[in-house]
Chain A
């Protein structure tokens, strides 16, 4: 919103100082450029936080034991409490006990007998509940919030998790699209910017536009498993950074 006000303000001031139409179109192209820069930078910010969340999720996958590894529920309750204390020690700002009473859950586990199917199912349920609550805690720990909406008032825990995760999947999409569009807009502006272009410069414009389109199309991987692998790896930001660096040094004659 602030942005719209800025741009309109500049348009107001400058309308009687315009030169040729080339200059005007060049100035007009700055709007998509700015939107691209903003989205790429903000996207990289959120993806940094997402990467930290992913590291913690991987820790949870590796270290939280589910009931099938234990013979008696007493053993499981002890390991449950130990696991969750370890988890809690990874975070300094918020305490897990405030949002999820895991000592009560551990006490609950000891009431069930792991060898019977019914008891096992109950304990399994407690385990799943714990995982869900831990994941929601993780997101809230990093100050990620579900966008306010009429539907979000009475949401179950798993719906909340879906909504929180979808914040980041949107970021994944717009980060790559914005990064690619930035390159495309820069290619167009370069085309407008210089009046007498050598063949090398035409070539570099084409290459830049092509790389921009390619980067935008990376977001199509959202539809496939490759996209999920990319999403959970720390490589998203470095990918775009490397492409920009290469674009700068090899694609230009300056």
Chain B
């Protein structure tokens, strides 16, 4: 048996957390399969999850903004390679939006009539 000191407890709690999340997700699917099988209003789910994805990407952009502000607050000269890395970070987020638009937000376009840009 593993000894119950604080570090082991923390690790156990973390792994329990993941197990519970997975079990809950599977339980949700199982319940919806068994009792409420046919429903054609699935487009709402797709739309909402697409929007959630946009929110998560926004968090990424916020993180980028805080790192740029930390650098500008603290150093006198911003070196060329730092500027290049920052541009790389911005393009990373842009390219993620592009990639995700293929898979999930494409359906969102059909619903919201956004147009060819996304």
A residues adjacent to B (C-beta < 8 A): 3-4, 6-8, 10-11, 14-21, 23-25, 27-28, 30-31, 33-34, 37-38, 40-42, 44-49, 51-52, 55-56, 89-94, 141-143, 150, 182, 186, 189-190, 193, 234, 237-238, 240-241, 244-245, 247-248, 252, 254
CB closest residue in chain A, given B72? A92
- 0 or 1 for each of B25-48: is its CB under 8 Å from A? (1 = yes): 100110111001011111011101
- Contact A17–B44 (Cβ < 8 Å): yes
Count of inter-chain pairs, beta carbons less than 8 A: 189
- Contact A91–B57 (Cβ < 8 Å): no
CB closest residue in chain A, given B60? A41
CB closest residue in chain A, given B74? A93
How far apart are B34's CB and chain A's nearest CB, in angstroms? 11
How far apart are B117's CB and chain A's nearest CB, in angstroms? 13
Binding site of B, secondary structure by majority: helix, strand, loop or mixed? helix
Given contacts A41-B63, A52-B82, A241-B92, contact A14 B45 (CB under 8 A): yes
CB closest residue in chain A, given B49? A30
- Contact A234–B21 (Cβ < 8 Å): no
- Contact B56–A92 (Cβ < 8 Å): no
B residues adjacent to A (C-beta < 8 A): 6, 17, 21, 24-25, 28-29, 31-33, 36, 38-42, 44-46, 48-49, 52-53, 56-57, 59-61, 63-64, 66-68, 70-71, 73-79, 81-82, 84-86, 88-89, 91-93, 95-96, 98-100, 102-104, 106
- Contact B82–A21 (Cβ < 8 Å): no
Interface centre among A15, A48, A92, by most chain B C-beta atoms within 10 angstroms, is A48
Q: In the complex, what distance in Å separates the CA atom of A158 from the CA atom of B12?
A: 31
Q: In the complex, what distance in Å separates the CA atom of A238 from the CA atom of B88?
A: 5
- Contact A45–B67 (Cβ < 8 Å): yes
Could you name 26 residue pairs across A and B whose Cβ atoms are closer than 8 Å?
A7-B21, A14-B45, A17-B42, A18-B42, A18-B45, A19-B40, A30-B104, A37-B100, A41-B92, A45-B67, A48-B67, A49-B71, A51-B85, A90-B76, A142-B74, A190-B103, A193-B103, A193-B104, A234-B82, A237-B92, A238-B85, A241-B88, A241-B95, A244-B99, A248-B95, A248-B98
How far apart are A192's CB and chain B's nearest CB, in angstroms? 9
